[in-house]
Amino acid sequence: MIYLDNAATTKPDESCLEKASIFNVDNFYNPSALYREGLNNASEIKKAKKTILKCIGATQEFECLFTSCGSESDNQAIFCAVKRGVYVTDKGEHSAVYKSFLELKNRGNTVEFIDLNSDGSVNIDKLFDYVKNNRVDFVSIIHVNNETGAINDVNFIAKTLKSINPKIVFHVDGVQAYGKIPYVLSRDIDLYSISAHKINALKGVGALIKKKKVSIAPLIFGGGQENGLRSGTENIFGIKVFEYASAKHYDNILESYNYVLGLKNRFIELLDRDVFTIISSDNSSPYILSVSAKGVRGEVLMHSLEEYKIIVGNGSACSSKNPFSRVVEACGYDKKILDGVVRISFSIENTLEEVEFAVDKLNCTARKLKGIMRV
Amino acid sequence: MKEAIIIRYCEIHLKGKNRGYFEKLLKENIKNSLNGFDYKFTVLHSRYLIEDFNENDYVAITEKLHKIAGIHTYSRAYVVDSDFESIFNACKVLCEGKFGSFKVETNRADKFFTPNSVETSRLIGGRLIEIYGKNIYVNIKEPSFVVNIDIREDGKTFVYTDTIHCMSGMPVGSAGRGLLLISGGIDSPVAGYMTIKRGMKLDCLHFHSFPYTGEAAKEKVIELTRRIGEYNGGINLYIVSFTHIQEAIHEKCPEEYMITMMRRFMMRIAERLSKKIGCQAVITGESLGQVASQTIESITSSNSVIESQPVLRPLICFDKNEIIDISKKIDTFETSILPYEDCCTVFLPKFPSIKPNLDRVIKSEKNLDVESLIEEAMANMEIHHL
């Protein structure tokens, strides 16, 4: 099996699972409990937070609260930091942010979606223009676009936003960046969402890194865990796996980055450019490559590759109501390109041979299908 | 007080000398469907009785009854001895908490029971008013509920208020076997349901065209088939790979005839499979004029390849809305509208022929090796027992 859908989720790291397994079986105690075993677990969670904050280079001004997923982190940032007002984001957001903004609109707030550049990054001129001309309260920008891999320079955006209006609360969805892109969290960023299962940890754990000064309300009420900001008994096993996976990723983040970049470049090099259009730009994340075979439906291409035990992601879900990827559509491509989008996303587990085999099959299949399909 | 479920059947009482056959079949279907529950089953004159069931099973049992073709209605009744006081007590319990107008209706099979039917209704109604007069009043013409008293010859009496309608129709198996072409859309499961309702036992055939359609589309069809299988007493789903046939048609035949040709192949395969597995008819969800492939010309073209069996089209004169209503009723709608492509959409020509000319269709079909394509498809068939 050649797994090239690592932006969807990644394979859990066995050594991290092994290392954390003591918290799954022996140290199962509730971290809120007042006996020694509970307190131990509470301090293990503290350690995990410290590791994660250190990984991303966050200063003492930041704290970390664990949630159940990246989507929850996004939701808490969006709904709980500002009560009402003017909210700004871009058209290239993950649904967790995009749909939340639609909900904000439903609730009577002013919401603005800023246009994208053709590679999927946010058009910063338009963003800054809007912020200059309006009294904006909250901005959310994705760090690495989950469909095209475009990297937004969030530190620069943060700095500029704060210089225009220091009162803006700025949230960054860092789910596809954390553990992958070498990056140091800027002090101008208020909230940063991350997710465990994108870096070979487990599903069911996410985190919201927040500036201590920024006050947010809880999304989930209850027993008062995470300083009352996120109630619910902590998933200690998942959190520890997340910690170990983070440490492992950040230990070699540059080597991994360059290795994956090599895979991606090889892939592009071998890709049949007569058939495929590359949507991702040259300076996008090496982990994500979005291509389109004009005239071949992405989903069919994806299914065809299944026969060779190659798994890729499809950008265009074949739903009759909304057949195209919202994000790639916002990049300004025409219908034929949109129809053929597939997303290839790498990880350090992929080998050069796998990539070469996959790209060869992708070329053959697309050429064959192109003759057959009328799209 | 002892409780029972009284089950009444539908058209069977119109039958003459072969009535026993239908009654027996329905009895077997009910018993098969209620396999796993504890209960006592009794056959009465033109109705069945389920007694001694576990109170907690009542909802599950009635859910099953709603999916058995041939059952017209059922009622949950108290079974009491045929003496006036016991009957009255049962009526009293039934009316507790009820509001609005009512009447009492007595049916006296035991002619030795006194007082007579009219008198019994009157006396019991009167005493009910004495107790619940604040909440209920008599209205003989348009009561909001009826207290039924059914005095049997065996010394027992049923007392009940509600009569719940089921799917009616004829017992499954009484009208032979048929093969349903199921696509994954809204119509074909409804067509299947309607045929089952008339007593035909179904098998299903689906055409899958991997990689043009994915696993999700297949799962959807399996789920739909399972749903209608609940009415069928289990069901077999045959999945035939249609990819090579589609590719061959695409390559060698005029684009506008793509769908016409596909349907002709489907019909041929359906007829062969139907004969092979002992079915007597092919069933489709076609509705006249709904899409290009369902005009009378298109139906003529696909119908002409099938020679030895009838093609039943239960939805032929139904509007889309009527079909959707039924699909909601039988709980297939939500699955049908899931957004996975089914067989037809990928190869959809821009301008499909609405009125295919049969001579031209036959002529362009000569470009294909029809026989070997069909044989190949039939050889690679998946079977699911659902």
Domain positions in chain B: 2-165, 177-385
SS3 content of chain B, % helix, strand, coil (to 5): 45, 20, 35
Q: Which of A297, A320, A374 is the closest to B349 by Cβ?
A: A374
Q: B347, A374: Cβ pair inside 8 Å?
A: yes
Q: Which residues have CB under 8 Å from B16's CB, separation 6+? A: none
Per-residue confidence band for A375, with pLDDT thresholds at 50, 70 and 90 = very low
Q: What is the mean pLDDT of chain A?
A: 93
Encoded tokens for A37: 């075993």
* B123 three-class SS: helix
User: Does position A373 have pLDDT exceeding 70, yes or no?
Assistant: no
pLDDT at B91: 95
Q: What percent of chain B clears pLDDT 70, i.e. is strictly above it?
A: 98
Question: Residue B358: CB partners within 8 Å, gap ≥ 6?
Answer: B300, B301, B304
Residue A329 contacts residue A338 (beta carbons within 8 Å)? yes
Q: Is B339:A318 a contact under the CB 8 Å cutoff?
A: yes
Q: Which of A329-343, B98-112, B269-283 has the lowest mean pLDDT?
A: A329-343
A318 classed as catalytic: yes
pLDDT-based confidence at A374, cuts 50/70/90? low
Q: How many CB atoms lie within 10 A of CB A61?
A: 12
What are the residue boundaries of the structural domains of chain A, listed by start?
A: 14-251, 253-372
pTM of the predicted model as reported, rounded to 2 decimal places? 0.84
Model pLDDT for residues B188-207, shown as the tens digit of each residue? 999 999 999 999 999 999 99
Q: Which two tokens stand for residue A174?
A: 């860092």
Q: Among B305, B293, B271, B295, which residue's Cα sits nearest to residue B343? A: B293
Say which of B211, B255, B348 has its CB closest to residue A306: B211
Q: Domain A14-251, what fold? A: Aspartate Aminotransferase; domain 2 (3.40.640)
**Chain A residue at shortest CA distance from B346:** A373
- Taking one residue from A and the other from B, the number of pairs with CB-CB distance under 8 angstroms is 36
Q: Is B346 on the interface with A (CB under 8 A)?
A: yes
B254 close contact with A: CB closer than 8 A: no
A272 and A363 Cβ atoms separated by less than 8 Å: yes
- Residues belonging to chain A with any Cβ–Cβ distance to chain B shorter than 8 Å: 297, 299-304, 306-307, 317-321, 372-374
Report the CATH fold assignment for B2-165.
VC0802-like (3.30.2130)
* C-alpha to C-alpha distance for B70 and B65, rounded to whole angstroms: 10
pLDDT surpasses 90 at B217: no
Q: Are β-strands B71-81 and B136-138 bridged in parallel, bridged antiparallel, or unpaired?
A: unpaired
CA atoms within 13 A on the CB side of A236: 26
On chain B, the residues whose CB falls within 8 A of the CB of A321 are: 339
List the structure tokens of B323.
């079909």
Residue among B230, B245, B204 at smallest CA distance from B367: B245
Q: In the 8-state DSSP scheme, what is residue A348?
A: T
SS3 state of residue B238: strand
ipTM: 0.75
- Which residue of A339, A372, A373, A375 to mutate against B (max B Cβ within 10 Å)? A372
> Which has the minimum average pLDDT: A153-162, A243-252, A312-321?
A312-321
Which pLDDT score, from 0 to 100, does residue A318 have? 45
Return the residue of A nearest to B244 by Cα. A372
Model pLDDT for residues B230-261, shown as the tens digit of each residue = 999 999 999 999 999 998 998 888 888 888 89
A257: exposed, middle or buried (Cβ count in 10 Å: 0-12, 13-18, 19+): middle
Residue bearing the bigger pLDDT, B305 or A299 = B305
Chain A interface, best mutation among B341, B342, B350, by max A CB count within 10 A: B341
N-terminal to C-terminal alpha carbon distance within chain A: 29
B16 touches chain A (CB under 8 A): no
| pLDDT at residue B16 in the model | 82
Most distant CA atoms of chain B, gap in Å: 86
- B73 has a pLDDT exceeding 70: yes
Answer whether CATH 3.40.50.620 is correct for domain B177-385.
yes
**Is the per-residue pLDDT at A317 higher than 50?**
no
User: Contact at 8 Å (CB) between A42 and A32?
Assistant: yes
The pLDDT, as a whole number, for residue B14 is 81
H helix or E strand, kind and range, residue B28: helix B19-33
The CATH superfamily of A253-372 is Aspartate Aminotransferase, domain 1 (3.90.1150.10)
The Cα of B214 is separated from the nearest Cα of chain A by a number of Å equal to 6
**Nearest to B310, CA basis, from B276, B279, B356:** B279
